Structure 1
């Protein structure tokens, strides 16, 4: 049954949404949207490296995303504002990645697939990588959930309780790199941060507890992926951007519902 490309695309979208959901909650809570952007844009360098070495893109993207996370963590607090540093690194990584890819023969015409995703071209091996990566991300966040949540809500209490903020940051960096690597095929480099932030922001106005927010984000992300896939098939639009458009519509609906609740 996995020979049907629409079924593979739907499973890839749901797997990516489930990986991004719990991590997206911490991105929203910790205001790490720029960090997500920088890590996602670094994926372009990983793609160039993978294409140059003629290896699968997943390890190249994972390596580049991890390198960006380590670079941001090591350069933080050295006289630059965090948003300035992340903006410089994010755009520089994307620009250098695009320039590097342009030197590779026969690749320039395929840039749109890397930038905006090509979910309809997902293969069975891609599907296994996506779901394996999603499983690792969910397991990692679940394992460190209490520590991450404590460090997010009350950093001083976390330190007083003997928790190591650097370990939690390393766990988030690893989870983010894995999510970027599995999401490349679905929404591409430019839209990964949107898939992380928008479902989590949508769930924030609907959920009452952190756990319910993570579950709601997974459900909303999956709904956006399936709805975007259906709309793209119906109206012949780019699938990755359409998924983000559907997620945005869900966010606007949640804002209206939240406004009514307050009144």
Structure 2
């Protein structure tokens, strides 16, 4: 079954969408969309590091994403505003990454890293993607109560005995993992969309955090499967097609919510 590249592509897209859909609600609740964007832009710098030091693309992108997190925390602690810090980091990392990748040689296809190429996923890539999915799910189950309390009120989380800095770093690490595996499926410029759009689609229709996670997963899975099918039918790039499908689902979700009066 795994010899069929379409099956591998479908499983890869589904895995990335599920991992992003599970973390997306926390990105929406904590208003971290721009932070996710900064990490995704840094992925191109991670690709350049991988090519320069001859290491795995996954490792390079993960290190770059974590570097963004460290820089962001350092700048905000020095009285820099969060939005300006993220703006400087995101666009600088993207620019330096594009220049570094271009210097690596003409054979490097930047578009594959910007927009993804899920149809070229290998068995090793598939194992890595689903390994990240398992790690994210297990981490969410383990830290669920602490994470929900932190989302509701950091002060309440502190008084309840939870280390809010530790929970924040755990979420940042999980986001870095998803960005690192997502670059293969939908690319650096679009992975943030899979974090935000399914969660935003689910938000008007739920009343509990658990329900929002579940519905976000459903929207993410729908985007992956339907988007890949649309890409094959219309002969369009797979990654952007998945995100377009997620956007259409979001629009329909908002219409349904409006009709229901929410």
Q: So what's the TM-score if we normalise by structure 1? A: 0.97
Q: Give the corresponding residue for 1:255.
A: 254
Per-residue CA shift, 1:104-131, capped at 9, x if unaligned?
Answer: 12444x1100000000000111100100
Equivalent residue, structure 2, for 1:153: 152
Q: Secondary structure at the match of 1:78?
A: coil
Give the structure 1 partner of residue 184 of structure 2: 185
Q: CA deviation at 1:231?
A: 0.5
- Deviation per CA, 1:39-71: give whole Å up to 9, x if none: 111111110011112222011111111111122
Q: Which residue of 2 aligns with 1:54?
A: 54
SS state of the match for residue 208, structure 1?
coil
Contact 1:24 1:197 in 2 (8 A): yes
Mapping of residues 125-164 of structure 1, within 5 Å: 125-164=124-163
| 2-11 or 49-58: bigger deviation | 49-58
CA contact (8 A) 1:228 1:246 kept: yes
The 1-side partners of 2:70 and 2:172 are apart by: 8
CA-to-partner distance for each residue in 1:60-83, whole Å, 9 max, x for gaps?
111111111122122214232211
Query: Quick check: 1:101–1:107 contact (8 Å CA) kept in 2?
Result: no
Matches within 5 A, 1:98-117: 98-108=98-108, 110-117=109-116
Deviations 1:149-184 (A, max 9, x none): 101111211111121111011101110000001101
1:186-233 residue CA offsets vs partner (Å, 9 max, x unmatched): 000000110100001001112221111111111110110111101110
Local SS of the residue matching 2:3: coil
The within-5 A match list for 1:1-263 is 1-108=1-108, 110-262=109-261
Between stretches 145-154 and 69-78, larger displacement belongs to 69-78
How far apart, CA to CA, are the structure 2 residues paired with 1:138 and 1:91?
Answer: 31
Instruction: Return the alpha-carbon distance in structure 1 between the equivalents of residues 204 and 260 of structure 2.
Output: 10
**Structure 1: tracts of 5 or more residues without a match:** none
2:189 is paired with a residue whose SS is helix
The 2-side partners of 1:93 and 1:206 are apart by 37
Distance 1:63 1:178 in 2: 10
CA RMSD between the two structures: 1.1
Question: By how many angstroms is 1:34 displaced?
Answer: 0.5
Please give the alpha-carbon distance, in whole angstroms, between the structure 1 residues aligned to 2:227 and 2:68. 30
Gaps of 5+ in 2: none
2:220, 2:107 → 1: CA distance?
31
Distance in 2, Cα, partners of 1:135 & 1:70: 25
Report the 3-state secondary structure (helix = DSSP H, G, I; strand = E; otherwise coil) of the residue aligned with 1:248: helix
Q: Which stretches of structure 1, 4 residues or longer, exceed 3 Å deviation after superposition? A: none
